[in-house]
């Protein structure tokens, strides 16, 4: 599950870069984000140049150790984790749909640290949400690390994040 940003990035450099350096910098901007199956053979097939770069992919969000394991910075998911994630997303969509048909349509955008759902929302001018006071009427989410997120997902406890 990968996201590829189709764009034409502008490379800013103090001095005139060598063509190889510029190409390398450019490739970095096109590196995909997302999740890759935690299987070294699959990853090697997806990026045939891994061996040339000591296991560090310029294309995928993964880095493979010599023993076939993944570095902790890798965005990889086990089949069990993937099932847990799919199940959680389906459950959330089902819950949202049921809430809507039950008439629960309160305006409760999330807030996670400084980020809010409203920041880039195109409906801002019509929804009339007015953040008030310190709490601002937001649904506050607790920041979670990668490990805790997977633990909650795989344990079926992701509601914990919402204080449920």
Q: In the complex, which residues of this chain contact ligand SF4 (CB under 6 A)?
A: 107, 109, 117-118, 121, 123-124, 127, 129
Q: What is the phi/psi pair of residue 124, to 5°? A: -50, -45
Which pair of structure tokens corresponds to residue 47? 């990026």
**Shortest distance (Å) from residue 109 CB to ligand SF4:** 4
Give me the least distance between CB of 33 and ligand SF4, in Å please: 22
- Per DSSP (E only), the strands in 64-148 are 76-77, 110-112, 115-116, 139-140
H-assigned helices in 30-128 = 40-46, 79-101, 124-127
Rounded to the nearest whole angstrom, what is the least distance from the CB of residue 158 to ligand SF4 in the complex?
21
Of residues 52 and 121, the one with the C-beta less far from ligand SF4:
121
Residue 115 vs 124, nearer CB to ligand SF4: 124
Judged by beta carbon, residue 32 or residue 118, the one nearer ligand SF4 is 118
Residue showing tokens 């590196």: 31
Cα–Cα dist 98/68, whole Å: 44
Shortest Cβ 119–ligand SF4 spacing (Å): 8
């Amino acid at each position: 599950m990968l996201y590829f940003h189709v764009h034409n990035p502008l490379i800013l450099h103090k001095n005139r870069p060598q063509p190889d350096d510029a190409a390398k910098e450019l490739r970095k901007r096109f590196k995909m984000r997302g999740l890759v199956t935690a299987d070294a053979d699959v990853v090697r097939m997806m990026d045939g140049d891994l061996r040339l770069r000591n296991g560090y992919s310029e294309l995928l969000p993964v880095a493979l150790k010599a023993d076939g394991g993944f570095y902790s910075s890798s965005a990889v998911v086990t089949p069990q984790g993937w099932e847990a994630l799919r199940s959680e997303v389906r459950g959330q969509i089902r819950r949202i749909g049921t809430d809507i048909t039950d008439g629960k349509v309160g305006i409760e955008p999330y807030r996670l640290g400084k980020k809010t759902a409203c920041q880039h929302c195109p409906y801002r001018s019509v929804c009339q949400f007015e953040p008030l006071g310190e709490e601002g009427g937001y649904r506050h989410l607790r920041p979670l690390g990668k490990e805790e997120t997977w633990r909650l997902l795989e344990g079926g406890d992701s509601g914990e994040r919402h204080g449920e």
